[in-house]
Structure 1
Amino acid sequence: MLMGNFLKNRKSVRDFKKKKMDDRTKTEVLEIFKDLEMEVDNKYFNFILFEEGEKIYNVLNGLAGYSGVMIESPCYIGVRLKEVNDKSIITASYYTEKLMTLLTHRNLGTCWVNIKDVDRGVKVKVLGEENKNIGYLVALGYPKAKNPFVQEPTSSRYGVSDIVFKDKIGNSINAGELEKRGLEDLFYYIRFAPSNYNLQPWRFIIKDDKILLLLKYSEEGKTDLMDAGIIMYYFKELGKVIGIKSEWQLLEKEDIECGDSRYRVIAEIKL
């Protein structure tokens, strides 16, 4: 399962070389932008390439970043929504993760950069008036070589039994049933998908011939729909390997509560 192995070993790049992309690579990147935007008929988002990486870093340093740390890179990609609504946010994050996967295949490194809480005036100063509502950037560049003698830190991951349930949230599903349905590997690998602050908020309910996707509310009572788009992308890619051809369907349903936790219902997909 090539996508599974890629996902298990997926690492956000936080140390970039100063090297800029050559013209050929830049052209390829811009073509990928256009292709992905066209896949959804240019309805939901645009990708913008910002090449003044040093300027952006200097302005946003201390104000934005991954877990509070701004990522320094020679370029950044802006993810600009055409309309701010649930479908646009989910679609944009789905295709941004697809973009990041394609860029990895070109030996480019990427990392999500959260700028949602940055003052709009600051965004105007560094990104331009038309981009003041951008909530996320993607750091882009050539990764620095890793020291083979230094052990990289790893993030803990929930087990399959912590994120997958049968019929309703909190109702454990038997590993044998997952194996019988051909879903065992998919859910093993999907645990390694990235999420905001590594909160791993996604939960899945298997009921009859469908899988329901939920997001767990944080302790502050929030969910990040970017996490939904990311996990939907990886589920779809992993699902292709085992013959799942259906598309995710977004849902509007009441929240689900279980114990002290509350979950937002996002979407379902048919097996």
Structure 2
Amino acid sequence: DHEIEVYGAFYLQSVVKKLYDMGLGSCWITVDGIIPSQVERLLAGQPGIIQHLLVFGKPEKKDSKGDKHKTIVNCDAKYEQDPYGLAIISTPDESRLSVVETIFLKTWGNVAPYEEMEKRGVLDLLYYVRNSPSYQNAQPCRLILKDGYGELCVINPEQEENYTDAGIMLFFLEGLAKEMSFPSNWHFIQDDSDNAEYRRVAHFDL
């Protein structure tokens, strides 16, 4: 059920945020392929399914020498680093998709120009939201800007983990929208189309 996957990821990411506020590190573990007897043992007789485990603890300090990641500081933006514990990073292989690769205007595939996003006042918000973590850095989420709202979509909708990534992005989108005084209301979209390229996941107000 894609709705359960989206909301489950959204609320589990809220736990990650609480752990971060407590100075604890955390890590999602995907349990695809776990054998039924292990599932039964973990559920301890309670009904339900298990898709992910969350491991947390006190992180060790790492030597920063040789670390290829670096924090991006955008001096023209209000937020140099988002308030949800996600470092805005860059890598030498430029593994992160750019804003114009992930944001469309009104229709799928119609690239949203920087000027249009600036005119709508959403460029900073969308710049940071695109850095939401995703499984194996696949970055499956795309945003379609409409008039007064947007739609979150996932590419390759046959891949279940993409809906988990959408839930995580919605957590960052809602939180950052609140911090930046945008409306932060969103709801799940049940897209039953047969579109193999992408599916809509959520409607959010802007």
Same fold (TM over 0.5): yes
TM-score under structure 2 length normalisation: 0.79
* 1:204 equivalent in alignment to 2:143: yes
Which residue of the partner structure matches residue 266 of structure 1?
201
User: Is the CA contact (8 Å cut-off) linking 1:163 and 1:204 kept in structure 2?
Assistant: yes
Q: Could you list the per-position Cα deviations for residues 193-223 of structure 1 after superposition, in whole angstroms to 9, with x for gaps in the alignment? A: 11112111000001111101101116xx324
Deviation at 1:129, TM superposition (A): 4.1
Q: Pick the aligned partner of 2:53 from 137, 145, 149.
A: 137
TM-score under structure 1 length normalisation: 0.61
Which residue of the partner structure matches residue 99 of structure 1?
15
Deviation at 1:116, TM superposition (A): 2.5
- Residues 152 and 132 of structure 1: is their aligned pair in 2 closer, same or farther, counting only changes over 3 Å? farther
User: Paired residues, what number?
Assistant: 182
Which residue of the partner structure matches residue 179 of structure 1?
118
Which residue of the partner structure matches residue 31 of structure 2?
115
- For residue 197 of structure 2, what is the amino acid of its counterpart? R
- Residues 263 and 199 of structure 1: is their aligned pair in 2 closer, same or farther, counting only changes over 3 Å? same
Which residue of the partner structure matches residue 245 of structure 1?
183
State the alpha-carbon separation in 1 of the partners of residues 194 and 135 from structure 2. Answer: 21
User: Is the CA contact (8 Å cut-off) linking 1:256 and 1:263 kept in structure 2?
Assistant: no
Q: Could you list the per-position Cα deviations for residues 96-122 of structure 1 after superposition, in whole angstroms to 9, with x for gaps in the alignment? A: 111111111111000110002211212
State the alpha-carbon separation in 1 of the partners of residues 186 and 42 from structure 2. Answer: 36
Which residue of the partner structure matches residue 159 of structure 1?
98
- Residues 256 and 236 of structure 1: is their aligned pair in 2 closer, same or farther, counting only changes over 3 Å? farther
State the alpha-carbon separation in 2 of the partners of residues 265 and 191 from structure 1. Answer: 17
Unaligned runs of at least 5 residues, structure 1: 1-84
Q: Could you list the per-position Cα deviations for residues 53-105 of structure 1 after superposition, in whole angstroms to 9, with x for gaps in the alignment? A: xxxxxxxxxxxxxxxxxxxxxxxxxxxxxxxx333322221111111111111
- Residues 256 and 192 of structure 1: is their aligned pair in 2 closer, same or farther, counting only changes over 3 Å? farther
State the SS of the aligned residue for 1:130.
coil
- For residue 236 of structure 1, what is the amino acid of its counterpart? E
State the alpha-carbon separation in 1 of the partners of residues 6 and 168 from structure 2. Answer: 8
State the alpha-carbon separation in 1 of the partners of residues 114 and 39 from structure 2. Answer: 48
State the SS of the aligned residue for 2:46.
helix
Which residue of the partner structure matches residue 78 of structure 2?
none
Identity of aligned residues (%): 28
